[in-house]
């Protein structure tokens, strides 16, 4: 009789673990889908914003010797 109780308990625990694993897999699939959707939306928005922004002014770089700065 004790073996049947142990077997039934093991079956119940296994079923609960299986349902939990399926739920977790569905959540992971949903989160992964949301991640890629967000990444795609961000790329689209970035593409829309970049061309309309004015080009930043590039400062002219020139060499100034330290001897001129010290004077």
pLDDT given for residue 1 in this prediction:
94
Spatial separation of the C-alpha atoms in residues 21 and 19, rounded to whole Å: 5
- How many distinct helices (H) and strands (E) make up the chain? 2, 0
pLDDT given for residue 11 in this prediction:
98
pLDDT given for residue 4 in this prediction:
96
Paired tokens of 42: 């961000």
Paired tokens of 28: 């992971």
pLDDT given for residue 52 in this prediction:
62
pLDDT given for residue 32 in this prediction:
97
Which residue ranges in the chain fall short of pLDDT 70?
A: 52-56, 59, 70-71
What does the domain layout of the chain look like in residue ranges? 17-48
pLDDT given for residue 15 in this prediction:
98
Paired tokens of 4: 């049947």
């Amino acid at each position: 009789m004790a073996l049947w109780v142990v077997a039934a308990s093991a079956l119940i625990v296994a079923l609960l673990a299986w349902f939990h694993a399926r739920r977790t897999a569905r959540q992971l699939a949903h989160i992964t889908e949301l991640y890629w959707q967000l990444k795609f939306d961000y790329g689209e928005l970035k593409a829309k914003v970049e061309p309309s922004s004015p080009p930043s002014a590039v400062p002219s770089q020139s060499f100034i010797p330290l001897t001129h700065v010290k004077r």
